[in-house]
Amino acid sequence: MVSTLFSWPALTQRSVRLRLTALYGGLFLVSSAGLLALTYLLVLNATAGGFVTTVTGTAITPSGAPAGTATSHAIELHQLLVQSGIALAIMTVVSTALGWIVAGRVLAPVRKMTEATRRISDENLHERLAMSGPRDELTELAATIDELLDRLEVAFDAQRRFVANASHELRTPLAMMRTSLDVAIAKPTPIPAEVSALDGKLREGLDQADRLLESFLILARAQHGAPDDDASVSLAELVEAALRDRRVVIAEKGIDVHVSLAAAMIAGSGTLLSRMVENVIDNAVLHNEPSGFIVVESEVDGGVVRLCVENGGRRLDDGGVEQLGRPFQRLGAERTGSSDGVGLGLSIVAAVAAAHGGGLELRARSAGGLRVEITLPLAVPALAPVRVAS
């Protein structure tokens, strides 16, 4: 009990509770010292009525006591002062301990608000502090934080709706532009070479715009919260399908792929989970070096499965790698020497993993390249590991 109340970290850090305790103890010490001094002066004034000297030179007190009584009186006053000082020291320690306990009880609502606020993120903005109790400064602070969370939730929802709606609306003019190009190129008259080159450039831009809009839609859906569908998806099958669809690009770059997967089922959206795995594989292929390597491994640890994808490449900065899970964050030429991609691949991975109760961790490899680790909860107990090599 005592060790819990007076833990070393709580005593060493400069906290409000420690300052309040010091204030309580200091005020008690100062006021008690003043009271002790006042009491001493009053006792001294009440018992020291002066002395009368007789003709023979013998000092007597007003009550007729000999002078030795005055010495005894001084000793008693000194003992009173010493004993009062000891009592003051003891009570100062006791009051400081009581001040620590009282400060903890007073600040308990603040700690609860801090813990609750720390738990709330963009994924659970619907939660509120909802602090109960009498109307005071603390409940007003909690109500103010709840109002701020209300405004943040409205702003986040509006942003996600705007991204989704804008992505849907922009698909129509893009389709019209693509149709116009098809009509212009399909004319029977010979097409000049510069027009054909312009057609290729425009189609390349339209394809990139389509990919960007699709990424926006998937990111908005993943950030909206938990997926609506709750199917059981095989993580190993998703990885194998993603590698199979990209075998031509992998062969062209001469990338050596090593795969070791555990049979694990994940509950969630098959579309989102498939896109998550595809983005991780695409990232490993796109930002690899010629004749590089990709290592894809998954393992089951308790109730979760970890999917790790490592690829070779240039050495990366750890600080920059931590930002790659955010939208539109790219390392540019420092990473691959090119500006391919729209900067949404790993942010979609992070959003999909979070929507399924998992997480994403990115680390730069000391020898060059990137290590991507995705953690997801299992839908059912995993089967025996399956070794797949390619």
CATH superfamily of 231-386: Histidine kinase-like ATPase, C-terminal domain (3.30.565.10)
| Position with higher pLDDT, 101 vs 61 | 101
CA distance 309 to 228: 27
- HSE-CB of 311 using CA atoms within 13 angstroms: 25
Third-level CATH fold of 137-223:
Helix Hairpins (1.10.287)
Element housing 18 (H / E): helix 16-47
Domain ranges of the chain: 2-119, 137-223, 231-386
Q: Does position 161 have pLDDT exceeding 80, yes or no?
A: no
Tokens 């999909």 belong to 352
Average pLDDT rounded to a whole number, residues 323-336: 55
Stretch among 133-147, 208-222, 236-250, 318-332 having the lowest mean pLDDT: 318-332
Please count the residues of the chain. 390
pLDDT for residue 366? 86
DSSP 8-state symbol, 369: S
Average pLDDT rounded to a whole number, residues 56-77: 58
pLDDT for residue 186? 81
- The helix/strand/coil state of 266 is strand
Structure tokens at 221: 């859906």
341-366 pLDDT tens trace: 556 788 888 888 988 889 999 988 88
Please, is 335 exposed, middle or buried when counting C-beta atoms within 10 Å of its C-beta (0-12, 13-18, 19+)? buried
Instruction: Tell me how many degrees the CA angle 299-303-309 measures, rounded to the nearest 5.
Output: 30
- The helix/strand/coil state of 155 is helix
